[in-house]
C-alpha cells in the first residue's frame, strides 16, 4: 500500500501534479526506506491516514478528519479506505487494488477470521465490494477476482518501482563466485492466504521450496564449487526452508539477511548472479510481482513461474520444476561470462515496461481530470484513453450482484 503509492506520488510529482500522500498507520515503513536521496521526498506532502481500515473501526469518530478528502481534485485509494470514503459521500476517482483487499477476501473464506467474527467480516466486505463498484475507475495489473465479481476495470502494466532513483544505486560487494538469491517471503509450508483446496493442491503461497530443491540438485551436480544461497528472515517458513538445507552438506551455502529496505535489497540483488522469485501454480500471474520487477530492473537473470501474458516478452526463465531449475543454474554457472548480457536483456525490458507504465498512469490521471464532471465513465469514454492502455471488456453488474457474488463465495 504505502510503497506502491509512494511510487505513484513521485511519478505524478515529476509530471507537475501537487500530491498529498496519506500513509497507512501500520508497520514500520517510512518513505525514507524507499529513498535514494532527498530528491525522492521533495515536492510531496506526507500525511498519515487517520486510522487503519479494519472492521472494528468506529469510523464516525474520524468523520471530520475524512472530510478533508473533499478538497482534492482527484482521490486515489487502495485497500479498504474506499469504503470509508464512500460513507461520507466521496467517490474515489481511481481505485488500485493491492491484491489481498480483493483477491484474498474473495477467495479465502477465512479472511480476517482470526481477528473478527464471520458476520462482522461479511458485513465489512459487502460494503467494500459495493464501494469498489462505485469507483469512477478501477485499475488492476493482476487481480484475478475482479472478473468473477463483475467489476469493470482496466488491466495494464503498473509502475510498482520508481526507476529513476533505483538506477542510481551501486551494487553491494559480491560474497562468492556464484550467488543465488531468493528474496521472496518464505511461505510454502504454511496455509496462510489460501483456502484449504488451493493449499492441498498447490502448496503454500510462494513455493520457495521448489527453488531450494532445484538449487540443491544443482549443487549435487557441482559439489566442489564455491556458491552462496541468500534468503531473508521474512515470512512464516524461514525455519522450514533452513531445514531443507540442514539435511544436506550445503547448509554452509546459506546466508540469511534480515528484512531490509527496498533500496538495500536492490543493491544486494545487483550483486547476485541469479534471482529466484515464486513458483506457485495456483494464481495465474503470481510469479511476476515486485521481486521479479526488481530483478529485471537490477539487470539480473530471473527464474520464476508465471502465466502472465503481460510479461511474456521479458527474457526470464519461466519454469516450476526442480530439475529445470537445476539445469538452468548449472548452465548459468558454466557460462558466467554471459550473465551480464542476459541481465542486460531484462534491464532493457524493465526500462521499456516502466516507461509505458509511467505513461499509463499519467494518461489515466489526465483523462480522469478532464472527465471529473461525469458521474460514471461509459465504456466509450474508457476506450479513448491514449497510449497502449488495454481495455478489459466486461459487462457492468449492479452493486447488488457484486455483493451477492461475494456472499455466495463464502457460503
In degrees, rounded to 5, the angle at the alpha carbon of residue 357 between the alpha carbons of residues 354 and 360 is 150
- Surface-to-core class of residue 57, CB atoms within 10 Å of its CB (0-12 exposed, 13-18 middle, 19+ buried): middle
The sign one gets for the Cα dihedral 279, 282, 284, 286 is negative
Query: Is pLDDT above 70 for 84?
Result: yes
Decide: helix, strand or coil at residue 14. helix
Average pLDDT estimate for 203-212 = 94
Beta strands in 79-177, from DSSP E residues, in sequence order: 94-95, 137-140, 154-155
| Spatial separation of the C-alpha atoms in residues 83 and 266, rounded to whole Å | 35
CA dihedral 180, 185, 186, 191 (to 10 degrees): -150
Query: Is pLDDT above 70 for 399?
Result: no
**What per-residue confidence (pLDDT) applies to 264?**
94
Instruction: Tell me the three-class secondary structure of 88-111, residue by residue.
Output: CCCCCCEECCCCHHHHHHHHCCCC
Decide if 294 contacts 284 (C-beta within 8 A): no
**What per-residue confidence (pLDDT) applies to 386?**
47
Residues in the chain, total: 411
Report field, pTM of the whole predicted structure over 0.85: yes
Place of cell 484513453: 385
- Domains with residue ranges and CATH for the chain: 2-161+357-409 (3.40.50), 166-350 (3.40.50.2000)
Q: pLDDT band for position 391 (50/70/90)? A: very low
CA nearest neighbour of 124 among 53, 213, 30, 229: 53
Decide if 24 contacts 51 (C-beta within 8 A): no
Q: Which residue has the higher pLDDT, 380 or 110?
A: 110
**What per-residue confidence (pLDDT) applies to 377?**
56
Q: What is the pLDDT of residues 291-315, one digit of tens each?
A: 999 999 999 999 999 887 778 888 8
**What per-residue confidence (pLDDT) applies to 363?**
85
**What per-residue confidence (pLDDT) applies to 408?**
76
**What per-residue confidence (pLDDT) applies to 393?**
39
Q: pLDDT band for position 378 (50/70/90)? A: low
Q: What is the pLDDT of residues 158-173, one digit of tens each?
A: 888 999 999 999 999 9
Lowest mean pLDDT among 171-180, 193-202, 340-349: 193-202
| Spatial separation of the C-alpha atoms in residues 1 and 24, rounded to whole Å | 8
Lowest mean pLDDT among 14-23, 156-165, 223-232, 337-346: 156-165
Q: What is the pLDDT of residues 26-77, one digit of tens each?
A: 877 889 889 999 999 999 999 999 999 999 899 999 999 999 999 999 999 9
Q: What is the pLDDT of residues 239-286, one digit of tens each?
A: 999 999 999 999 999 999 999 989 999 999 999 999 999 998 877 656
Q: What is the pLDDT of residues 121-131, one digit of tens each?
A: 888 988 998 88
Share of the chain above pLDDT 70, in %: 90
CA nearest neighbour of 73 among 92, 58, 99: 92
Average pLDDT, rounded, for the chain: 87
**What per-residue confidence (pLDDT) applies to 180?**
98
Q: pLDDT band for position 395 (50/70/90)? A: very low
Average pLDDT estimate for 342-365 = 92
Query: Is pLDDT above 60 for 379?
Result: no
Q: How far is CA 152 from CA 90, 134, 376, 396, in A?
A: 19, 10, 12, 6
Amino acid at each position: 500500500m504505502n510503497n506502491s503509492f509512494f511510487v505513484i506520488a513521485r511519478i505524478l510529482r515529476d509530471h507537475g501534479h501537487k500530491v498529498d500522500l496519506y500513509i497507512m498507520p501500520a508497520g514500520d515503513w517510512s518513505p525514507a526506506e524507499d529513498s535514494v536521496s532527498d530528491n525522492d521526498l521533495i515536492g510531496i506532502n506526507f500525511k498519515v491516514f487517520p486510522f487503519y481500515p479494519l472492521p472494528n473501526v468506529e469510523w464516525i469518530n474520524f468523520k471530520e478528519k475524512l472530510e478533508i478528502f473533499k478538497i482534492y481534485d482527484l482521490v486515489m485509494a487502495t485497500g479498504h479506505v474506499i469504503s470509508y470514503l464512500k460513507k461520507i459521500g466521496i467517490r474515489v476517482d481511481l481505485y488500485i487494488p493491492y491484491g489481498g483487499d480483493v483477491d484474498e477476501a474473495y477467495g479465502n473464506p477465512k479472511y480476517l477470521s482470526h481477528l473478527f467474527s464471520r458476520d462482522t467480516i461479511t458485513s465489512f466486505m459487502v460494503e467494500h465490494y459495493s464501494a469498489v463498484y462505485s469507483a469512477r475507475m478501477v485499475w488492476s495489473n493482476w487481480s484475478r477476482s475482479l472478473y468473477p465479481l463483475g467489476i469493470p476495470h482496466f488491466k495494464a502494466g503498473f509502475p510498482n518501482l520508481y526507476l529513476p532513483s533505483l538506477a542510481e544505486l551501486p551494487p553491494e560487494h559480491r560474497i562468492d563466485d556464484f550467488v543465488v538469491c531468493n528474496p521472496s517471503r518464505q511461505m510454502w509450508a504454511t496455509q496462510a492466504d489460501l483456502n484449504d483446496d488451493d493449499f492441498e493442491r498447490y502448496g503454500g503461497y510462494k513455493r520457495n521450496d521448489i527453488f531450494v530443491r532445484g538449487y540443491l540438485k544443482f549443487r549435487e551436480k557441482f559439489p566442489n564449487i564455491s556458491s552462496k544461497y541468500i534468503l531473508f528472515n521474512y515470512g512464516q517458513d524461514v525455519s522450514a526452508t533452513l531445514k531443507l538445507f540442514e539435511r544436506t552438506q550445503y547448509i554452509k551455502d546459506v546466508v540469511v539477511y534480515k528484512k531490509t529496505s527496498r533500496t538495500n535489497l536492490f543493491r544486494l540483488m545487483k550483486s547476485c548472479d541469479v534471482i529466484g522469485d515464486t513458483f506457485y501454480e495456483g494464481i495465474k500471474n503470481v510469479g511476476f510481482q515486485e521481486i521479479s520487477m526488481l530483478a529485471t530492473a537490477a539487470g539480473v537473470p530471473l527464474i520464476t513461474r508465471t502465466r502472465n501474458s503481460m510479461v511474456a516478452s521479458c527474457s526470464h526463465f519461466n519454469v516450476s520444476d526442480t530439475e529445470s531449475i537445476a539445469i538452468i543454474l548449472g548452465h548459468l554457472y558454466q557460462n558466467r561470462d554471459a550473465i551480464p548480457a542476459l541481465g542486460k536483456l531484462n534491464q532493457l525490458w524493465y526500462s521499456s515496461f516502466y516507461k509505458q507504465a509511467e505513461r499509463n498512469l499519467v494518461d489515466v490521471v489526465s483523462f480522469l481530470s478532464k472527465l471529473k464532471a461525469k458521474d460514471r465513465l461509459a465504456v466509450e469514454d474508457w476506450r479513448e484513453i491514449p497510449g497502449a492502455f488495454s481495455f478489459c471488456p466486461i459487462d457492468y453488474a449492479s452493486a447488488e450482484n457484486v455483493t451477492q457474488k461475494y456472499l455466495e463465495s463464502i457460503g
